[in-house]
Amino acid sequence: MTSTTDIVAKLWGLCNVLRDDGVTYNEYVTELTCLLFLKMLEETGRENRLPDGYRWGILAKKEGMAQLDYYKAMLLDLGKAKDGLVSAIFVDAQTRLRKPTNLKALTSNIDHLDWFSAREEGLGKMYEGLLEKNASDKKSGAGQYFTPRPLIDAIVRLMQPQPGETVQDPAAGTAGFLVAADRYIKDHTDDLYKLPEAQAFFQRHNAFVGAELVPDTHRLCMMNLLLHGIEGGVDNIDALSPDGEALSKANLILTNPPFGSKKGGGRPTRSDFSVTADTSNKQLAFVEHIVRALKAGGRAAVVLPDNVLFEDNTGRRLRTWLMDLCNLHTVLRLPTGIFYAQGVKTNVLFFQRGKTDKANTKAVWVYDMRANMPAFGKTRPLTVADFAEFEIAYGTDPNGGAERKEQGEEGRWKRFSRDAIAASNDNLDIAWLRDTEAEAEEALTEPEDIAAAIIGHLRAALEEIEALSEEIEPDSANELPALAEAAE
Strand segments, DSSP code E, in 205-309 are: 208-211, 234-235, 250-255, 294-305
Per-residue model confidence (pLDDT) at position 444: 59
- How far apart CA 86 and CA 75 sit, in angstroms, is 10
Residue 484 has a pLDDT of 45
CA distances (Å), origin 22, targets 141, 204, 215, 482: 16, 38, 20, 46
Question: Nearest-CA neighbor of 364 among 416, 406, 316, 401?
Answer: 416
Which residues, given as ranges, of the chain have pLDDT below 50?
140, 142, 264, 473-488
> Which pLDDT score is estimated for 160?
98
Element (DSSP H or E) covering residue 326: strand 326-333
pLDDT of residue 477: 44
Distance CA 127, CA 124 (A): 5
Distance CA 407, CA 394 (A): 12
Which ranges in 350-445 belong to alpha helices (H)? 388-394, 418-423, 437-442
Amino acid type, 320: T
SS3 135: helix
pLDDT of residue 472: 57
pLDDT > 70: what percent of the chain?
83
Q: What are phi and psi of 417, to 5 degrees?
A: -70, 160
Q: CA quadruple 421, 424, 425, 429: dihedral positive or negative?
A: negative
Rounded to whole angstroms, the Cα distance separating 41 from 46 reads 5
Check residue 485 and give its pLDDT: 44
**Tens-digit pLDDT profile for residues 444-467:** 566 666 666 666 667 666 666 665
Look at residue 67 in the predicted model and tell me its pLDDT: 96
Cβ 452 vs Cβ 138: under 8 Å: yes
Instruction: Please report the pLDDT score of residue 390 as a whole number.
Output: 97
Global pTM reads 0.85
Q: How many residues does the chain have?
A: 488
d(C-alpha 36, C-alpha 275), whole Å: 44
What's the rounded Cα separation, in Å, for the pair 309 and 349? 10
Cβ-contact 34, 93 below 8 angstroms: yes
Q: How far is CA 31 from the centre of its chain?
A: 21
The CA distance from 241 to 353, in Å, is 22
* Segment 276-332, tens digit of pLDDT: 888 888 899 999 999 999 999 999 999 998 989 999 999 999 999 999 999 999 999
Determine phi and psi for 43, rounding to 5 degrees.
Answer: -65, -30
413-417 and 363-368 beta bridge pairing? antiparallel
Strands 167-169 and 363-368: unpaired
